[in-house]
Structure 1
Amino acid sequence: MTSPRGGDAGSGSGGSGSGGGTSPLIDTSRPHPARMYDYFLGGKDNYEVDQEAAERFIKAAPEVRLAVRANRRFMHRAVRHVVGEGGVRQILDIGTGLPTEPNVHQTARAIAPGTRVAYVDNDPIVSAHARSLLDDDDHTSVVLADLRDPRALLDHPDVRRVIDFDEPVALLLVAVLHFLTEEENPDAVVATLLDALPPGSHLVLSHATLDVHDKAREDAVNVYKNATATMNPRGHARVLSFFGDLALAEPGLVLVPDWRPDEPPQHDAPPIGMYGGVARKTR
């Protein structure tokens, strides 16, 4: 069981706005998933309300700090795959979270300099921090937008400025879909995003699950009931359904430490409740 990706991810849902201009007021009355994730990673861009919620989560799920790092390592391996093997040169990263090096564009450009990246998140703090780092980078954009309105997200001028939807795109939905409830129709959200991408595009997705944990982890999930987005872990079959008819790369949808690991497994490590997979759009 883990939380939003933060550091290089966040919740990516529940906000609106643009990549420039005046940011909406920052809500410090409730925990925010991206700021909680920053706390899990040892960051300082969080508030007392985030810290208190994160500590309750850690008490219920002590492996969370290992989980967030495992999720980040999966993300970077997946980015290297879609850029190196998949040949993708533009990335739409939804739920980017507070910047932590290496960021997605740094990982991608280590393989293919000039790779374009549009970062999307819903937290004004994330947007402000990212813009301060990337304002002088013509091949990146930072967009404050709502995953629950994918059409508006796709049409945002700061997305369109760096992403050419006539060319293959890598869509990153890393630790973000579990912040959409079934009532918010995550299937339709994913379908709208994928429909906008041409053949040769890729989906990189990770998602929280309780499959590998006992009931006690429900206490951790409940921490998010008072946050700006609730957590909705899902089973393997449900997470797999988000890929639709895309062609999954080997080894398929697996726990994130098991997706093409680049280091020996730690046999005494606790189970990480996060599935991850990468798939290609062929038609």
Structure 2
Amino acid sequence: MTTFTAAELPVMTGRTVVITGANSGIGRAAAHALAAKGARVVLAVRDLAKGRVAAATMTGDLDVRRLDLADLASVRAFAQEFTDPVDILINNAGLMIPPLGRTADGFELQFGTNHLGHFALTNLLLPQIRGRVVTVSSNAHRTGRIGFDDLNWERRPYRAMSAYAQSKLANLLFTAELQRRLTEAGSTVLSTAAHPGLAATHLVDHLSAEGSLRRRLQTLLLTPLAQSEQDGALPTLFAAVADVPAGGYAGPSGLLQGRGAPKLVGRSKTARDAALARRLWTVSEELTGVAFPLGQPTTLTS
């Protein structure tokens, strides 16, 4: 079986990569690997101090910039201030099953951060992107549904895992519809996606501190099975630089896609629903006030 490691990354000198949430976890690991290959890596992070600490552990051309995906004003400010060409945008930052919270704009925290923030960022930067957009999803997308009647969990009891799955399904629907629009606009930019499998990152640290006994036990049991953040970043790197098809989705090749070398993987039937992807895109434009900047594609019949 063909394997892919960080050592196989091509020389990236002269290329600019923007990575959201690059101060920890798989985002930090991806930034480290790409910077080591000569890329200029922009760490787009909510906490500048943490971003600078992370950058100090890396070698290469690092640029730390503030970006709070839970605040559309911050997303717009980042896009307005960063005007350089972008070879690869990696939509990596995310939240996983926190207590119910709201973004600065009033959206449910996971949907607003994981999907809407990246939706706005990508479209605002798209005129200067010349390579790929990689969006990090999760195997949890398989249990997700898009609750258009209550996207922000205002009328039903909040279920953090269901909200997370919704946001990760949204990531894949966004990836697919973005690629459709890019193709119809005649753009050579590719939209791809990846998921890290079960990676030992800080994404669920709050479970041990705030969660129930069941959640703490789940964390303790899963940790020994998880792969490192460096290995967890490999599907993202694979989707960013390997010869993958438009709209391709990468994940670990091992049992249940939990760990192992990256490869192209499948996605749920719901994540392949083109009509659902178009509907979500329209709603996302309405919620964020940000539209696809390369012209409006025609509407396909189902």
Q: Larger % of helix: which? A: 2
Taking structure 2 as the reference length, what is the TM-score of the superposition?
A: 0.42
Whose Rg is larger? 2
Q: Which has the higher contact order (CA 8 A, sep 6+)?
A: 1
